[in-house]
Amino acid sequence: MQNPHLKIDLAKVEANTKYVVDLAAQAGIEIMGVTKAVTANLAVARAMLAGGVSGLADSRLENLEHLRNGLELTNHPLMLLRIPMLSEVEEVVLLAEISLNSELKVIKALNQAALQLGVKHEIILMVDLGDRREGAMVSQVLPLVREIDKLTAIKLRGLGTNFACFGGVLPTTENMELLANLQQEIREHFNLDLTVISGGNSSSLPRLKKQGLPAHITELRVGETILLGSNVVTGESFFGTKQDAFLLGAEIIELKSKPAQPAGPRGPNAFGEETTIHQQGLRQRAILGIGRQDIAVGGITPILSGVELVGGSSDHLIIDVTESKRKLEVGDTIYFRLDYGGLLRAMTSEYVAVTYQQN
């Protein structure tokens, strides 16, 4: 086994997807599977498709290209999540059937690119309902739609919004009804049917499950809850899903009894931080062959009980194993759960191998 490695249980990814897809389907909502946290890993994307997502979405064109080249995608569109750069409109039109947009200048350039290539490109117009990341302000939506309506190679597929991405704003009846009202107004003023309301990400799922979402929502774009089984609103697990589809394994390269407290005059560490260690006395300490180049130290949690993460530098991770019930040795692999940031970093690191759980 190559170390460090990320072990992916594809059956769990598929089961999580199916759970989310079925939950949404009861409310007439389709799920786009978001692959950005796994750098569009093809096996994970296939598991999402097998679980029933209606399409795949990613924020980066390199990832969409990877999906486009690696999968048979006859009935499943690819969606670009990050609003496009003006400098990449040709690739957007080539690689994605759908993109999320908020800038008229870019939408016009997409139209130009689509005309040149002789294709149609669908867009979802993003509306900022308070989270303050991308999206047109509500008052600007109708004027924008008037301009978009003139572009012959662009099809306005619908309206979309984001929650809990930047400002941490959560979906409420009020902010989601704003989208319904806009949709209604657009239908009245223009000859557009706007079939899609793309109403958010994983942060909309707890509400969907508890009290339902407003009836006009037709689509959610979901990554985190499918991959990690998390309830992103409470930080706990999302009931009905598995939390261990992804496990990070790293190998013990030193195991010694050492005083917990550093000795000698102290300054900041290699990352400019002052470290404080709360333990005292002699402790059983292990060093793992993985570091901050590969993982976010705050984004991983050891699964073996009694193991505590102490800290890390670029290439070393220090854990305290004094309370471990299992006897550990140099050469053993220690496994961690990951949060979204932890997963993203580990998948992006070239030094972390990807392996698959054999079921």
Ligand X SMILES: *Cc1c(COP(=O)(O)O)cnc(C)c1O
Residue 87-126 contact track with ligand X, rule CB under 6 A, x = bound: -------------x--------------------------
Taking alpha carbons only, the member of 306, 307, 290, 305 closest to residue 342 is 290
Q: Does 223 bind ligand X (CB under 6 A)?
A: yes
Dist. CA 353–CA 28, nearest whole Å:
39
Dist. CA 230–CA 227, nearest whole Å:
8
Q: Applying CB under 6 A, which part among 2-10, 89-97, 144-152, 219-227 lies near ligand X?
A: 219-227
Structure tokens at 216: 């006009």
Element holding 19 (H helix, E strand): helix 10-25
Structure tokens at 330: 């140099």
Q: Does 34 bind ligand X (CB under 6 A)?
A: yes
| Helices 10-25 and 42-50, axial angle in degrees (round to 10) | 40
Instruction: For the CB of residue 310, give the shortest distance to ligand X in the complex, in Å.
Output: 29
Dist. CA 95–CA 61, nearest whole Å:
7
Q: Which residue is nearest to ligand X (CB)?
A: 223
When binding is defined by CB under 6 A, the residue of 27, 36, 140, 242 that contacts ligand X is: 36
- Residue 36 annotated among the catalytic residues of the structure: yes
Q: Does 344 bind ligand X (CB under 6 A)?
A: no
| Tally of helices (H runs) and strands (E runs) in the chain | 10, 16
**Which CB sits closer to ligand X, 3 or 231?**
231
Site residues (CB under 6 A) for ligand X, limited to 172-201:
201
Cis status of the peptide bond prior to 259, with omega within 30 of 0: no
When binding is defined by CB under 6 A, the residue of 17, 35, 59, 183 that contacts ligand X is: 59
When binding is defined by CB under 6 A, the residue of 222, 248, 307, 328 that contacts ligand X is: 222
Residue from 7, 12, 18, 36 carrying the catalytic annotation: 36
Give, in degrees to the nearest 5, the angle at Cα 275 between 273 and 280.
Answer: 175
Dist. CA 183–CA 249, nearest whole Å:
48
Q: Applying CB under 6 A, which part among 101-109, 220-228, 266-274, 277-285 lies near ligand X?
A: 220-228
Q: Does 40 bind ligand X (CB under 6 A)?
A: no
Dist. CA 288–CA 279, nearest whole Å:
19
**Which CB sits closer to ligand X, 224 or 294?**
224
When binding is defined by CB under 6 A, the residue of 81, 113, 154, 186 that contacts ligand X is: 81
Structure tokens at 176: 């989601």
Q: Does 3 bind ligand X (CB under 6 A)?
A: no
**Which CB sits closer to ligand X, 144 or 232?**
232
- Residue 187 has a CB neighbour count (10 Å cut-off) of 12
Q: Does 17 bind ligand X (CB under 6 A)?
A: no
Q: Which residues bind ligand X (CB under 6 A)?
A: 34, 36, 59, 81, 100, 162, 201-202, 221-224, 232
Active site residues: 36
